[in-house]
């Protein structure tokens, strides 16, 4: 592959996944001609990735990267995901927060009720192996693989051991090591069969978004990104500082790209960027809705919110600095503050 072409592809791969340029070059070097640079996950692999993305979201707005994910490394039968070193508002690292949200745990009898689930975490997720540098996850009875790592100095094995000890001391039963579904997991799946089916049917969407999550940081310009899921409908809200134009056309074009993107088409586009009647003091919102042109289950709604001049975001900028956000990103998403602020020590 000619060097110029290889560099362009590496930059594009970096844009979609968030990994460094040299790592992108290595990933693309031996890829067979005709194979997509970002392979599509299938079956249990697709479902595991979708579940991880759905339940991984942090509980604060401001991390070093949107939604707290530094980068992803997608392969045909696995995905490696690197979390930010940032902490949640409760003082947990994102690694600790991930364990709480993902790993299934049975509640003690004293905390069970008819209206509440008898299990927390994600039904069917299991820990294959925990080392100092990574946590290897799978789904019961499958070879699916998601590997969690951290941009910080996280000892995943020690973190998992601590989580296990604290739970058992309080009467909970961790079931992330069970070889089969626990009874409470089976009960949950039976009681929520329609929800489980909707999650599985739309996992092509959630998995595909996770494999391209770098776009939020590398191509987006939102200082705050939130997302939530209702059945098989995924919604993202991207907040832009006053004076920053939401690059929604670019982001959507990259997302639906025929070679690098996903099988999505735009169903609805409502744009207020050029609304001459809009009062600059108030927020404006451009909204796009996308779905599969083949009719597959699952929809994606993107809300690009341009904050009004009422929004004084200096405190938010300071939060992002403390989280370790890179200078090149802060210059793009909060130029009015970063231009006058102190440069961070992050790599460009």
Does 227 score more than 70 pLDDT? yes
The conformation of residue 45, written as its DSSP 8-state character, comes to H
- What pLDDT does residue 170 have? 94
Does 201 score more than 80 pLDDT? yes
Give, in order, the Cα–Cα distances in Å from 37 to each of 75, 80, 169: 9, 15, 46
- What pLDDT does residue 259 have? 96
Distance CA 16, CA 36 (A): 13
Distance CA 112, CA 108 (A): 7
Q: pTM of the full predicted structure?
A: 0.94
- Residues 104/120, Cβ–Cβ less than 8 Å: yes
- Residues 246/273, Cβ–Cβ less than 8 Å: yes
Does 217 score more than 80 pLDDT? yes
- What pLDDT does residue 234 have? 97
Q: What mean pLDDT value characterizes the chain?
A: 92
The conformation of residue 87, written as its DSSP 8-state character, comes to B
Range 306-318 burial, b when 16+ CB lie within 10 A, else e = bbeeeeebeebbe
10 Å CB burial of residue 104 (0-12, 13-18, 19+) is: buried
Does 102 score more than 70 pLDDT? yes
Q: Which range scores top for mean pLDDT: 55-59, 202-206, 317-321?
A: 202-206
Closest CA to 316 of 220, 210, 225, 250: 225
Mean pLDDT of 99-109: 94
**Percent of residues, the chain, with pLDDT higher than 90:** 79
Q: What is the pLDDT of residues 24-70, one digit of tens each?
A: 999 998 788 888 999 999 999 999 999 999 999 766 668 999 999 99
10 Å CB burial of residue 348 (0-12, 13-18, 19+) is: exposed
């Amino acid at each position: 592959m000619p060097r110029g072409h290889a560099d362009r592809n590496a930059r594009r791969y970096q844009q979609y996944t968030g990994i460094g340029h040299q790592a992108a070059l290595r990933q693309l070097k031996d890829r067979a001609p005709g194979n997509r640079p970002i392979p599509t996950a299938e079956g249990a692999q697709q479902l595991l990735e979708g579940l991880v993305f759905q339940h991984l979201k942090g509980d604060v707005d401001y991390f070093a990267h949107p939604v707290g994910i530094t980068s992803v490394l997608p392969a045909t039968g696995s995905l490696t995901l690197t979390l930010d070193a940032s902490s949640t508002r409760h003082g947990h690292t994102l690694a600790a927060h991930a364990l709480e949200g993902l790993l299934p745990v049975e509640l003690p009898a004293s905390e069970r009720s008819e209206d509440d689930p008898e299990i927390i975490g994600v039904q069917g997720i299991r820990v294959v192996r925990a080392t100092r540098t990574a946590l290897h996850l799978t789904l019961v009875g499958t070879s699916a693989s998601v590997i969690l790592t951290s941009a910080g100095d996280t000892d995943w094995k020690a973190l998992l051991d601590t989580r296990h000890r604290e739970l058992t001391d309080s009467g909970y039963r961790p079931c992330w090591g069970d070889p089969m579904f626990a009874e409470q997991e089976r009960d949950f799946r039976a009681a929520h069969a329609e929800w489980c089916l909707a999650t599985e049917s739309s996992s092509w969407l959630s998995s595909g978004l996770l494999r391209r999550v770098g776009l939020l940081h590398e191509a987006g310009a939102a200082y705050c990104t939130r997302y939530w899921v209702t059945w098989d409908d995924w919604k993202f809200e991207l907040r832009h500082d006053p004076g920053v134009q939401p690059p929604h056309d670019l982001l959507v074009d990259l997302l639906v790209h025929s070679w690098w993107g996903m099988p999505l088409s735009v169903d609805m586009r409502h744009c207020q960027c050029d609304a001459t009647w809009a009062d600059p003091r108030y927020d404006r919102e451009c909204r796009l809705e996308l779905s599969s042109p083949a009719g597959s289950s699952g929809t994606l709604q993107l809300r690009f919110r341009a904050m009004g001049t009422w929004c004084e975001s200096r405190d938010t900028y300071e939060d992002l600095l403390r989280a370790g956000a890179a200078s090149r990103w802060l210059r793009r998403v909060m130029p009015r503050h970063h231009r006058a602020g102190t440069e961070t020590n992050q790599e460009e």
